Each structure stands twice: as structure tokens, then as C-alpha cells.
Chains A and B, each alone.
Chain A
């Protein structure tokens, strides 16, 4: 009898160390937690839209030439970083926590985690969910492309193998020290990711917030364009248009509205958003640029509003928001890229057809007369002019300035603040923005 009582307590102690308890210890402590391993887990990570789609960097647009600040407006910009960015200062502090570098690389990390987990899944599951891999690759490549445009110099075939690009982080090991790859390596990685993605992605996603095959083609077109590989840029723009080629006719929208365009309109191929940039939204539109829009060009009223003091303001773009910028892919960009590439390769008829097709949907009905020329230069210049006007504040101007300066250096960009003139000559080293100093400090990578 007494022995029995010892047994009781002994049993209790043993029971806690036995395998039954192991089961308890393997119970999920929180129903919301998961180790990313199923297609649902990976898709859920890629659907974290506020981190993956809505944190594009406006540093390029803020540095570009579509707008200006008066001295008063300049001083009223609260963020010193934004003021420094405006005058192309080397002293951008980036001491705010959510800076653009971190945001883009956080996106890369999400994509890498998905890619790693994807490759650990069973072959059959992998095969059935290849689109997830495609989405992750598009997110990673687009983040690398944005970062390359901002923090590296322009692609130059002769020096790309040695020019400093950005760190290419291809796994989730945070202990790995970041090293700047060459620009050539950057573009090679971006293009290989996108080609792989295009092969496995779906033609039509359930929502344009998710990357797709046309999105992969669109970014391939952008990447080749920035490299100056015009033939391939045109080819992929064409592939993109084949899958998603609808254009809005601006005659069908209320151009007088405060926000004429709705989000996810039919031109949008893939959604990317840049949060507010104070200089751009408190700034004024360059008056020469504004004057270049014809009175019958519906873009004049749908993109801009005139303020009481005859100052000009940007209304906001395809984001349907007055202080957020649409940096995603839309069909108008693809038509302009294809047109430019046709023109460059001498396919002038095709180039004219594209530009006129787009313009008839931008001008008031019956007011537009087809642009005609048989001179390659004239046609190319017309296309580039329309490209700037159509794709204003779409996150493309900085890259366009850089690549166009290579073939024909333009006059310096100029800012005037309190009687001081700041200049950014074509091909200046400052076209590659300073990397956040804290990153330099931790990694020891060379600064721009």
C-alpha cells in the first residue's frame, strides 16, 4: 500500500519527462504563428501589400526635374533629408527609421524567405505553385531595379563590370555581410530573376497587387531600357502589351475631378506605390513643362491643377491619392517604351503607330491629328517628349535622365534657393545617391 503511494509521485515526475510531454511542448502556442512551409503561407507573405507594394522610394523623383521649390517652400519642408535630397547634397542623413533603403531590402528579404521555403516544398507542390516563385522573383527583381537606379550610376557597357552596384542579397541569412555587386551583376541578376518569373507566372493575377507574367515582362522591358538594350526592351514591352494592352481613353474620365483616376484602373499592370514626398507635393510644376501640354491635351487638366496664385500643382496619378505616387507598371509606359525602341531600331511606322494610338486616347476627341515624320531623330524626340509628359511622377524620370545623358549629355539640372544656385551636371557622380551612412558604417561597403 505504501509502495503504491511512492509510485504515484514517481509516475508524475516520469510522466513529465516522457514523450507524451514532448507532444505538449510541440503544441502551437499561438494560432497566428506558422513556419512558412505551405503555399498558403508563402502566398500570405507575398500578399503583405503594405510592405511589398506600398513602400517604393521617391528619392529619384524627388531629385529629378519635373518640379521646383521656392525658397520659402524649401524651408518649409520639415525633413532635412528631403531638403538635402532636393539640392543633391551628399549629406543625406537618413536617420529616420523607415528609410527607403531599408524598405526596399525588407521587400527583398520577404521574397528571399518565400524563395527559400518554396524550394523546400515537395516537387509536386512546387510544380503546382510555381506562380508563387514567380511572384517572389518579380518582387525581388523590382526592388533590386529600383535600388540600382537610385544608388548606382547609370549602366555603361564598358565599365559595368567594375562600376559599383548595390548589394544583391539572395538569401535570408542576416549574418552575411553586405557587399556591393558590380552594376553588370545587378542587371544580370534582375534579368535572370525576371526571365525565370515570366516562365512560371500567370497571365492574369486575381488582382494587380500581385505580380504576374505581364508584370515580369514589363520589368524586363524597364531593365533593358535602363541598360540601353533597346531591342530587348522593345521586345518585352511588346510581350507585355500582348497580355495586357488596354488603354484608358481620357475622354471617358472626369478630368476636372480632384482625383480623376481611380486605383487599379484598367491600364495598371502591377501596383507599386511610393508614400508621400513632401518636396514633390508642396512643390510647383516646372512651367515650361506645363506649357508643353497642348490646351486640347486632356493630360493638362487631369494631371495638374492651377492654384489661386497661378501656381501649378500635381494632382496625383494612377494611385487615386493626392499625396501618394504610382510607381507600378501600366500599359501607357509599355506603349511608350515600345514606340521608343521601334524608333531607335528604325521601325518608324510602328513607332508612329504606337505614339499616335496612345495620343488619340489622351487628347480631346477629334482634336488630335496624327504625328507624322520620316526622320528617326524627330520621331524619337517626339516619343521621348511624350514619355516625360505622360509618365510624370511615375518613378521613371530619374532613370530616364541618367540613360539619356549617356548618349547626349543634357544641360545641368538647376535649383535656386535663397539666391544660391545648385547644379547637377549630366553624368555627375551624384546621380548615384548616397547610401545611408549607417549602412556604410555597419557593412564597410564603399559610399557613392
Chain B
């Protein structure tokens, strides 16, 4: 489209040139995409003369012969001063370099077509190359949160988070949005994609935008467009190099229990006989303090010695041990190179990139990627584009970080010492120390674990190789009508190996556990001495073919764009997993006997040697038909319609149920183009409205009960099979009706431009996990249509040029609001505990947000005992079993607010002065709540999971005025702990503002560039993960890192880089 305009204008221009030769003529283009720029103000200070470029970027100046200085100014581009002489027969070609924040987005890419924003009715958010390039992280999608509109990364469930577009879809089914690379869904790891290859990203937000992707668009669609070469383009090279340093993670963020408190607690529990069962069970590991106390009682240590040993441990904080002896600063390196050129019938681009990262744990990551793409016009009406991409990612394990191992309890005790005072690695015991000292009379391998050095014996690698081949053949049948066939082949192979060598704890432990020593002291190894190698190979192969017919015609006042087509996708996966024993340096291996069990050395119980073999194959077919059309009248009124039908070979589903049709329709009105429109200050005003359905990806709707084969039973040596899906024919597809109303506007000179979009969402069959009668034997939960909901929200995008001139200040502002509520809940069970879980579940009460934070009413601590108090039937109560039991329903709970942000967005400010530009990007999430962690005495006693709140617990009457942490009771009561964990008093406001990144760049002036023979250059410094600017909670908890007791915020990274174009 753009190309056509370009060729047309060139033709027109040459025509003009031949007639008038006494003028200065010029064409102002975007330096990066070579498109003409309209509205560029060209002034000649000597003559106080001004003009501006036309819609195609051309201008003429009538001047007397002589030399003149021209000043070019356009919002979104750096100012340029050039000297010209008149008269001249040549047309001046004046490229402008885009300023740091480019204001107008060029076009929208839906993955099926590219269209100018002007023609769209749906809701799209476009992230430009410059916004992507301001960040330096290795992954592409992580860069979106700071710059994209209507998008949020929800980190309440996992550390990498899930991308949420306009409110959460249900938890049923895949949670990730569909990633489209150029034309096709990308099945590989999104990290294969080098961010430096990206031209733009389009986010499809409403039903009209996304319905072309059908059922896979339920979680939103992100379309990634890579850089392309243009026709008639000189040979160009662009390079980028960056180097970053990442801080050590801040382990002190973890609210762990003080070592001294933990030791006191262990002493108390020891005295009460809590550890007696562990002590009596041969081989069970004891913590160092319990071990010392036992030695004291066995008279191996005197009272004084024991006390001294214990007191030494009090001063150790394992977090400091990790900080000092394990973690380092991480480094990131990033290089990329793009080369492209084009003639009138052929163009090509080569993109290459390399990333090399070393984490704080010395884990290594490398990614190399290369793409070759070319487009050729062999015949008049035929265009053929082919591309080949190859990406290679390599991961290698490093040291063992915080939380990766434990001893004695499920969680490591806080006074653990990783390194002895003499610098040697400290031993840890997974079995009791006293037992190991005598076990096997020295015939066994060393059975202690050295976490500080064990990583040297474990080599874990993962290599991902991704090959992507694309062909796109487009043929113009007649004017406006083209037919195209697109084909993509992807082959991703992931091979992961873990070699635990013969000195690794893993191998030593396994070998010892199976070792047999007979009465004469003869030793036999059931698991041979040597290392253990795990292999895991996964292959994804996908073939996708799309046939599409496009019709684009402008007939007078009528403009028609239509496309229809069909596509077929086949994705095959193949996985092979296996274990090899007895691996030695010279790569010899040994056979083991998997067929019969052998007694464990310590307990005598019989176990099989783990075979770790798994084979898995899947073969998925997706068939789709789609249609999309828009009609515009006089470039003012546009109507659009889109429909799609999808089918997949879901197992156990009747074929007739497989096709799921979805549709949408939209209208737009360019108000500013009406004759009666006279608002000069608002030269651009457009109103849009859409309505449609967006589906949710493949709900597991099985009409019949299916089973899944597992491994072989070691007893019968035949395969066993478990239930996979229970036949659930009552299940309905979840569809969301969405309406979108929007206004796009720009005031004069584009000083302020943006859009306001209001949308509503309505669904009647939200899917979720419903508790079912366990007597049915189908488990505790089953996917059911749970609730109906209604939601609404708005996305505001504003771009403003606050200051223009020598000192420029630009602001990019994205503000989103989303709120929903349950309108109907279908299930009869309203047991409170069903809605009080660690994971997100649909709220079972009409009027509340779909994802709510509910809690038990808190009645303070009992002033006499420090017991937490709740309410039972409106009366203050300590009957925890009843409060947390089935008789308490959702109606008895306190509603605090939404569990997901209701207001969110980001603000990017760019300040530029001469050649310097500074961007500060801030993101925020507001209007929601989270549950903070605290002491759970049951978890503390059993698993050693402590919390710093332990120090704040109620200890004596009067404390209840200062604290809300319940007193310690022995034995612990699970219901009492559960009540406190889910009580009101631990719910906190999650509102926060985060400084995402700061980017400072230097771009030399055009004259300097010319001197350097460069077309562009930028030197930049970037700080990412800067930290929180503000949080509503007073506990200094980062709500994005409040998932568990061990989540830690991403450490700050400082990067320096250089970009240059030749």
C-alpha cells in the first residue's frame, strides 16, 4: 500500500520536475522506512519564508538564486538544518531521523493484513520499534509492560507472569495470549525472537480486532512484525551492541525468620519431645540444633559445649551466606546486525543477533539468531517472499541458589552455614549425621551433601534450535484482486541433558541407597558407580498453510477491502526422556536392572531403580475459515465485519461440536472530515464502535471419558492407564461478548493525540474448577461452567508534546481501567474455604469481582492467650474448625477488593536537548489487594517454613495492642493457622508505582554523522528494574513479588550500548 503511494508520487514528481526548474524542490522522507513525511515545516530564516510538505512529503520553495539555509521541523523527528543552492535541477532527498519517541504509528498488522490505523474500526495498540529499542532485556514480551496500552503482566501466579489484555480470561485453558510472528502463530519459545529484529508490535484488544484469530484469540493476540527491506533501497547496515551488569538479588527482601528465634523454637520443640519420632526413625536427618541437643542428652557433649555450639549458630544468616559465597553480579551482552538492499524487482535483508548472558548464579545463556529474507517480483503480477530463520539458544546451569535445597526440613533452616570458617564447603545432611558416620563401615561413598560445591558436579544444559521457513506467493489476478498462498514450516528441537557426575550428591546418594553389603562385608552395587545422565528431547514440528483472496478497490467514493481464506495447521510434538547410569569420563555406561525392586540400604524397604523413561507424541490439527471485509464511503464512514470458524482434532469430542464460529462487526466515522466540522484546534477526530465475540482456546470439552496411558506397572510389566478427562457433555463453550466505543483525536500540530476507548465484556458461561462430590470418584474438582459475568473498562492513550523547540518534552501515557463482576453463580456449594486458596478462582457471589480477595472477619487477638479470634454466626469465636469448616459460606467472608489490578498503565517521558535524550518509563497497577504472608505454625513445625512475623507474635497480655500475630501454641492447630492465613488482618492494598527503566541516549548531529560516514548513530545507557517508587502497603512488600515466601524482585540492570547505521 505504502509502496504503491511511494511509486506513484515519484512518478508524479518527475512529471512536475520537467515543467518547473527554477524552484527548490524536495522530498522529505523518514530515514528509517523511507516513507514521505507530511506536514514538515520548512523555513528559510534568511527570507522569513515558510512552507510545509504535502501529504506525500513533497515541498517546493520559490526563491531567488543563491545559497540558503533550510530548517526542517516535524514532530516525532529530529530537527534538521541543511544548506541548499538555487537554482538546482536535482530534487533534494531529505531524510529525517525519527526522534526517540515516534509519534504516529505507521500501520496495524493483524497477521492477515496490514492496514492504516485510519481504516480500522477495532481496538489496536501498536508499539513502535523505538519503544522496543529503548529497553535492553533479552526477551521481547517482557518489554511490553512498560510501553504498551491496555496490557498488563499479572505476576500474582508466577514469576515470569502472564500477559493480560483487558482483564483476565478464565483460568481454564491456556493463559497466554496468541503470539503471531509476521503471518503465523509462533509455536516455538518466544525467547527465540531477537528483539532487535522487530519493526513493530500490534496488540489486538477488542473482539473486532481479534476475531480474525477465532478461538485462539481468547487471551488476546500479539502480532510481531520483523524488519523488512524496501525496494529501491541503497545498501544499509545497522548494528547494535550493548553490555549490561545485573545486581545480585536482594535476599534480604525475603521475610525469613531470625536464626536465633528459629533456634529457640527448636529447643522448645525438642524439650516437648516433638522430634522424638524423627530421632527414633533410623537415618532421618536432624537439624544441627536438634542434633546438638541429642548429643547433649546422649552425653556426647556437655551442657556448656552444647550451649556454645548452639550460640555460634545464632549469628548465622543463611541469606548473607548466599550473598557472600554464592551470588555474583550478572552480565548481559547483546549484539545485532542488519543488512538490507533492494532494486526495483528484488530486495533482501539479513538480520543477525547474538546475546550472551551470565546470571547471578553463573548460569549461562546464549542466543544466536540469523534470518535471511528476500522478495522478488519475477513477473508483473507476482510477488514471492521467502525467508529462512534459524535461532539457537543455549542454557547452562550454574550454582545452586537460595531455596534450591534443604536439609532436615522442607525449607532450609535460617542458620545454615554454607561455608566453614576455613573456607571449605560446609556439609549438609539429608540423613542423620550420627547414622552416616557409622553406616557401611566406610564402605559406602561419602553420603554428605556440599551445596556450595555440588554444582561443579552437575552439568545441566538445554539447547533450543529453531528453524523457520516461510514462503509467501501473491498474485494479482485483476485490479484490486490478489490471491496469496502462505506457507510456514517450523522445527524446534529442545534437548536438555543433566549429567550428575560420580561425585555429585545426586549420584552418590542413589548409589549408596541401592548398595548391598552382605554379612561378610562384601559390597555389591545395584546402581553402578558413576554419573547419571538424564536426556530430554522435545521436538515441535509445525506446518501451516493459508490460502487467501484479497480484494482492495477504491471506486470513486467507495472503498472496499475484503479478504477470505482458509488455513490448516498441523503441529506435531515428540518427546523422549531417558536416564543412563554409570556414566564415566570416558563415556562408558552401565546397565541396571529396572525389573525388580531392591532394598534400600537404610530402611530395607524395596524400591525400583528409577528408569525415567518417557515417550510422548502429539499430533494436532487446526482447520479454520475466515472472512473479513470493510467498506468505506468518502473516507468518512467505514463498516467492517469479520468472522471465523475453527476446528481442531480434540480427543473425545463429537465432530459437530468441533467447529466454533465467532464473528464481529464495527463502524467508524471520521467526524473531522465532515463539511460541518469546524474545530480547527482538533483537526483529527474519529469515532469507532465494534461489537463481537471473542472465544476461549480449546476448553476441555470431552463427550466421553478418556484415559491416558502412563508407564508400565513394575508388577505386571504391562502399561497402566489413568483417567484423562471425564466425559462432560454438559460443558458449554465460554464466549465473551465485547463491545468497544472509541474516539481517536489529535489537536493541531499533533501536540496532543490519542484515543479514548470504552469497552464492555459479558460472558454467561465462565469456565472454572468447581468442587464436586468426591464420592463420585472423579477427583475433587471438575471443570464446569461456573458463573456469568459482566465487565467494563476503558483504555486511554495519550501522546503529548509538552515542550517543543531546543528542549523537547514528550509524554506517552497509557491508562487503563477494568472492572468486572459476577452476575450469576451456578454452583450450590458456597463453602468459604473453596474461595480461599492460593490460586485465583472465580468468586461465587454476584456483585463481586470475578477475582476477589475474600477473607475471614478478624476479631483481634484474645488478650489473655494471644489466640486469633474470628466470628461464628456473628459472635466472636475461637472455634477454628467451625470458622474454617463447611458451615462458613462465602457470605460470611469479608470482601476487600479485586485480586487483580483495576487501574493500570504506564507513563513514558522523554526529554531531549540537542543530541541528548532521556526517557523515564513508569508503570503502575492500582485498585487491588493481595494477601501478605505470615507465620503458619503448622508449616513451621513440620516443614521449617518460618516468617519474620514470628518475632512479632503475641507473647504476653498487652501485646495484642501492638501486634496481630497470634501466639505460639503447641501442638499446632491447622485450622487456627488457616484462619489466620486467610483472615482480614493479612490482606494488604497492592497498589504500586514502579520505575521500569531509564534510558539516556546521545545522537550526534547530522553534520557529525556525515563526518563519521554514518546515517544514524546512538549511544545509550539504560537502567532497568529500577524498583518501586511507591507502594500502598506499609510492610515494604512488592505486590508483584508476594506470591510466596521466597519470591524476590528482579535485580537492577545497568546497560551501555551503541547503535549505528551505515
Write the residues of chain A forming the contact surface with B, with a CB cutoff of 8 angstroms: 2, 5-6, 8-9, 12-13, 15-17, 21-22, 24-36, 41, 43-45, 47-49, 51, 72-80, 83, 91, 93, 95, 97, 99, 101-102, 105-110, 112-113, 167, 169, 172-178, 206-207, 209-210, 257-259, 262-264, 278, 281-282, 307, 313, 320-322, 436-443
Contact = CB atoms under 8 A, between A and B. Distances in A.
A29 B650 contact: yes
A32 B615 CA distance: 9
Given A48-B710, A109-B723, A321-B605, 10 more contacts: A24-B623, A25-B649, A51-B722, A75-B272, A113-B705, A113-B723, A167-B775, A259-B599, A282-B277, A442-B828
A75 B274 contact: yes
A110 B780 contact: no
B699 interface: no
A30 B831 contact: no
Contacts of A174: 726, 772-773, 776-778, 782
Contact of B707 (A8, A34, A74, A108): A34
A108 B723 CA distance: 13
Interface string B701-745: 000111111100101101111111011001000000000000000
A178 B776 contact: yes
A76 B606 contact: no
Given A13-B566, A22-B655, A28-B651, A442 B779 contact: no
A114 to B, nearest CB: 10
24 contacts: A9-B549, A16-B568, A25-B623, A27-B649, A29-B620, A29-B621, A29-B651, A30-B617, A30-B618, A33-B706, A34-B707, A36-B706, A44-B707, A45-B721, A48-B710, A49-B713, A49-B720, A95-B978, A109-B777, A174-B773, A178-B775, A257-B604, A321-B605, A322-B603
Given A2-B477, A75-B272, A437-B885, A34 B829 contact: no
- For the complex of A and B, the 10 pairs showing the least CB-CB separation, nearest first, are A109-B777, A72-B273, A174-B776, A44-B721, A441-B886, A12-B547, A102-B774, A178-B775, A75-B971, A282-B277
A443 B775 contact: yes
A78 B938 contact: yes
B707 A33 contact: yes
Interface string B997-1010: 00000000000000
B568 A31 contact: no
A17 B658 CA distance: 12
A24 B649 CA distance: 7
A263 B606 contact: yes
Contacts of A95: 833, 884, 974-975, 978
Given A25-B647, A29-B618, A95-B974, A178 B707 contact: no
A36 B619 contact: no
Contacts of B885: 93, 437
Interface in B292-346: none
A27 B566 contact: no
B489 to A, nearest CB: 18
Interface residues of B, number: 91
A41 B775 contact: no
Contacts of B272: 72, 75-76
Contacts of B566: 12-13, 15-16
A442 B782 CA distance: 14
Contacts of A441: 829, 831, 886-887
B803 interface: no
Nearest to A17: B625
Among A8, A77, A322, A442, chain B packs the most CB atoms within 10 A around the CB of A442
Interface in B581-622: 597, 599, 603-606, 616-621
Given A47-B720, A109-B776, A13 B564 contact: yes
B616 A32 contact: yes
A1 B50 CA distance: 55
Nearest to A101: B774
Contacts of B277: 73, 76, 278, 281-282
Contacts of A262: 606
Given A80-B973, A113-B705, A321-B605, A33 B778 contact: no
Nearest to B772: A174
B661 to A, nearest CB: 12
Contact of B621 (A25, A109, A175): A25
A295 B410 CA distance: 42
B1062 to A, nearest CB: 43
B92 interface: no
Nearest to A108: B777
Contacts of B920: none
Given A78-B938, A95-B833, A442-B772, A2 B478 contact: yes
A22 B623 CA distance: 10
Nearest to A436: B774
Contact of B280 (A24, A175, A307): A307
B475 interface: yes
B254 interface: no
A258 B478 contact: no
A263 B975 CA distance: 38
Contact of B720 (A36, A48, A307): A48
Given A47-B720, A76-B277, A322-B605, A35 B705 contact: yes
